[in-house]
Amino acid sequence: MCEAIAAARSPSVVVFSDQLMVEEESLGALRAHVPKTAHYVDRSLHEPVSLVEPWNLIVLERIHSRTWSEVQ
């Protein structure tokens, strides 16, 4: 089994799909486009970032940790 597919089927992805109510069919279509190396979602912002490993995306830490949804 391809490492990318194995990573995309990790428990964190299952939780993600359950939380956002995304169907496995939709995730499967997206898995075909996972970059081989890590890519920044937005390079213009200079804030702490975090790698979302199954998808090889580097996103803002506040988005990855979902602190934007909390009242501070």
What 3 state SS string does the chain have? CCHHHHHHCCHHHHHHHHHHCCCHHHHHHHHCCCCCCCEECCCCCCCCEEEEHHHCEEEEHHHHCCHHHCCC
Based on the structure, what is the number of domains in the chain? Answer: 1
pLDDT of residue 17: 62
pTM of the complete model: 0.58
Angle at 66 between CA 65 and CA 69, to 5 degrees: 155
Range of the domain at 26: 3-69
pLDDT of residue 36: 92
Residue 12 to residues 3, 21, 45, 47: CA-CA distances in angstroms?
A: 15, 14, 26, 24
pLDDT of residue 29: 87
pLDDT of residue 37: 92
* Tens-binned pLDDT, residue by residue, of the chain (72 aa): 344 444 444 444 555 566 667 788 888 888 888 999 998 888 887 889 999 888 888 988 888 887 766 555
